[in-house]
Amino acid sequence: MVDGGAHGTWGAGDPRDPRGAHGGRGDLPVMPPAPPAPPMPRQAPAAGPPLSEWLRTPRPEAGPGIWRYGHRPRPPEDPDRLEDRQLLGGAALVVLCGLLVWSLCWNGYIEFWVKPLEWFTPDSWREPGGDHVAFVRAAKIYEYLFTVVFFSVVVWMARGGEIWRRHVRPRLRGSRGAGEGTGGGADGSAAPAAEPPGGPSDPALWPQLRAVGERAAADRLAAEIHGGRMNDVDYVRIDRAWQAARSRYEQLPAFTEAVLDRGAAAFAHPSGDRDLPVRAARHDLLTGQVRLGAAPDEERNPYAYRGVRLALEPALLSTSMLVVGPSAAGKTSRVVRPVVESLALQALAGRAAVVAVGAAGAGLGPDEAYDVVIRLGDPGSPHDLDLYGGSDDPDEAAAVLAEALVGDAPGGPVGPGGAGGFGGESDTRRAATALAQLIGPHRSAHGRFPSVPELRELLDGVPVALAALRQACEAAGDGAALRELDARERQSGRPGDPGPLLADRIALLDRPAFAGFFDTGGTTRPFAMRDLAHPLRVRIDLPERGHAEASRLLARLLLAQFTACARDRDERSLFACLVLDDAAHTLTPASVRAVQRLRTANAGVVLALRSLDEVPEPLRAAAVGAVGCRVVLSGVSTWDGEVFAQAWGRDWVKTEDVTHNPDFSGGTLRRALRGIRTLFTGVRATTRSVTVRTVQRERWSASDLAHKVPPGHAVVSLTTFRGEASPPVLTRLGE
């Protein structure tokens, strides 16, 4: 079978296979091969048009974040464009005046309109005994022509063409527009005319295969499409396998054989799934986009984004995204869940790997939508997590673990007598050194890293534990390990030693609720971030109820592990994404810098916060600046809004200054009339002067973000990994 790049087909016994070799908790799921003829996944939530029609719909290039399925670019901006109220009100006035004039003409009050009839007909037709029948016929024809010309002028004066283009035609299209996406949600927008069925470039006929002579495979896949046995995930997955096979000529026979043998089920995901159990958002897998919402057609939004739908895709998420909004504002249901769902679909298509992290019951999708579900603190969890991220290097594992344990530690007195402060990046490095001095010798002596209870005893300096480790190192004859232990013993007890703080932090995981988790004995293979070289769908539930501090520690650990492993991947054709549904107290100076470096690794993170107060104050501006995509939901505070207002900067706008001055113009009679008016109304007559200036103004001020974003809306700015950026756009979420 064609590998398809990083498609996720693992051979039996492959050491890279993240499925493990044993049953029970701690192993990744055993993914059996797909059955010979798997059933077609059900359509959810609503059946859209047939796959062939979905494929033929144009997807023109557009600005960052614009939903491309059936997109019609707006015409160039007209500076003289009338507002809707002015346009419709003026049209109504013109029509009323036109009807009045027509009524006066028709009832004989205006007689000039019949003069052309008299000019162009013989006088004898109107004289007694003349040809009155001919005159009557001519009069009817004239009345018809006059009516057509008259009302054509009325429609022209009322700007009927602009009203048709702006208001009537879009509603007609919307009423008969078809939905989008097979196997996915319907798109309420109408799609423009597409390639006619059966044309030479009809994507439903797989012209890319026919172009290289693979007609049999193309015919089989086309039959699967027209027979309703293929969905959008199947199409994208097989097309990805084809792109990998065409670059290696020797793999073409294997590709053709797989297609002829299994049709739409060829190259299926190792789980055998060809769709998610349910879709809550609208997706276009051909472009990798998921609908986020719609931008209202109003002056506050940039012209190019008014009335369009906004979407997210890997090209945007690779710059990472920060979502800020209070509880119940829609962070999870309207932003995080659609992103996770989109990445899970792309994982089934062999194009992405996703790790979604949230509290139990956070609403990140059902268990059936994932390959790995880890419920930390739940004895019934089917899978486990590797505390060391799958690393074999003690120094690397120690650095990542230290970032999680003390990366957020504030400066302050620690150690015996409270002497010596701890906090900052230099102290994080000291903590990493202390951890490496213990876990390195332990791995050398036992062939594995220490478990949580063992690591806690070593950090606490328990004499029995240290003596046993020293004895094991002596038995192994590892002099370097013994020197590391000697150094650790010399440093322990000194002012500023990180050992006590590390022991206190690791004790958060040495609780009965976590007994049996973070296994290092080798009997099972827990999930590690290094497994993201394959298109895995992973959900990790954190035990926030009763273990809030431990959950924050684990979130920092997962973020540190992800940023370290994503940058070191050899295979970067898969987009890897970590989604933290609650990133409170997770960001550190090192993690903020690491997030910035993910852009070149085809990876990104999504961080959701209730407020920027959940980020250390010195890091707030840096955290907002480190991500390319920002989503600010309704209900944020002015303090949070100030940071985003500064990040979005200023723009040149035209302002009008209106000045009212007392009116002293005119003669005696006019001034007397103004005096009488002032006496009765109490309002003094004034003159009005308008000054138009071009000034710099914040795109969105802190006050606007806090008070002028309606419920269910968000202000969104997006940036691609190439550096193309959209301005902040007010968006109605969920449309």
pLDDT tens digit string along 176-191? Answer: 544 444 343 334 345 4
At 79, the pLDDT band (50, 70, 90 cuts) reads low
**Where do the domains of the chain lie?**
84-158, 313-387+522-629, 399-508, 652-697
Give me 441's structure tokens.
């010798």
Distance CA 138, CA 144 (A): 10
Q: How many CA atoms lie within 13 A of 164 on its CB side?
A: 6
Give me 556's structure tokens.
């920092």
- Mean pLDDT score across all residues of the chain: 84
Of the listed ranges 41-55, 125-139, 509-523, 659-673, the least confidently predicted one is 41-55
443 neighbors 520 (Cβ within 8 angstroms): no
At 383, the pLDDT band (50, 70, 90 cuts) reads very high
Q: Kindly report, residue by residue over 624-651, the tens digit of the pLDDT.
A: 999 999 999 999 999 999 999 999 998 8
Q: Kindly report, residue by residue over 214-236, the tens digit of the pLDDT.
A: 999 999 999 999 999 999 999 99
Q: CA quadruple 232, 238, 242, 243: dihedral positive or negative?
A: positive
- Give the pLDDT mean for 450-466: 94
CA dihedral in degrees (289, 291, 293, 299; nearest 10)?
40
Judged on CB neighbours under 10 Å (0-12, 13-18, 19+), 53 is middle
Of the two residues 176 and 589, the one the predictor is more confident about is: 589
pLDDT at 716 over 90: yes
- Give the pLDDT mean for 154-160: 89
pLDDT at 579 over 90: yes
- Give the pLDDT mean for 462-472: 94
Of the two residues 178 and 486, the one the predictor is more confident about is: 486
488 neighbors 434 (Cβ within 8 angstroms): yes
237 neighbors 286 (Cβ within 8 angstroms): no
pLDDT at 47 over 50: no
pLDDT at 48 over 90: no
At 126, the pLDDT band (50, 70, 90 cuts) reads low
Of the listed ranges 353-357, 560-564, 623-627, 660-664, the least confidently predicted one is 660-664
Q: Kindly report, residue by residue over 526-561, the tens digit of the pLDDT.
A: 999 999 989 999 999 999 888 999 999 999 999 999
Of the listed ranges 106-110, 399-403, 480-484, the least confidently predicted one is 106-110
- Give the pLDDT mean for 459-482: 92
Say what the pLDDT of residue 421 is. 42
Of the listed ranges 68-82, 662-676, 709-723, the least confidently predicted one is 662-676
Of the listed ranges 247-261, 401-415, 433-447, 636-650, the least confidently predicted one is 401-415
- Give the pLDDT mean for 91-117: 85
582 neighbors 570 (Cβ within 8 angstroms): no
- CA angle, corner 247, sides to 242 and 248, nearest 5? 100
Helix axes of 463-476 and 452-460: crossing angle, nearest 10 degrees: 110
Indicate the CATH number of 313-387+522-629 among 3.40.50.1000, 3.90.1150.10, 3.10.310.30, 3.40.50.300. Answer: 3.40.50.300
pLDDT at 74 over 90: no
pLDDT at 262 over 60: yes
pLDDT at 25 over 80: no
At 680, the pLDDT band (50, 70, 90 cuts) reads low
373: β partners: 539
At 339, the pLDDT band (50, 70, 90 cuts) reads very high
Q: Which one of 237-251, 350-364, 491-505 scores highest in mean pLDDT?
A: 350-364
Amino acid code (one letter) for 641: G
Q: What percent of the chain has pLDDT over 90?
A: 57
Chain Cα centroid distance, residue 306 = 19
At 424, the pLDDT band (50, 70, 90 cuts) reads low
Say what the pLDDT of residue 525 is. 81
Give me 583's structure tokens.
């990133």
Q: What percent of the chain has pLDDT over 70?
A: 86
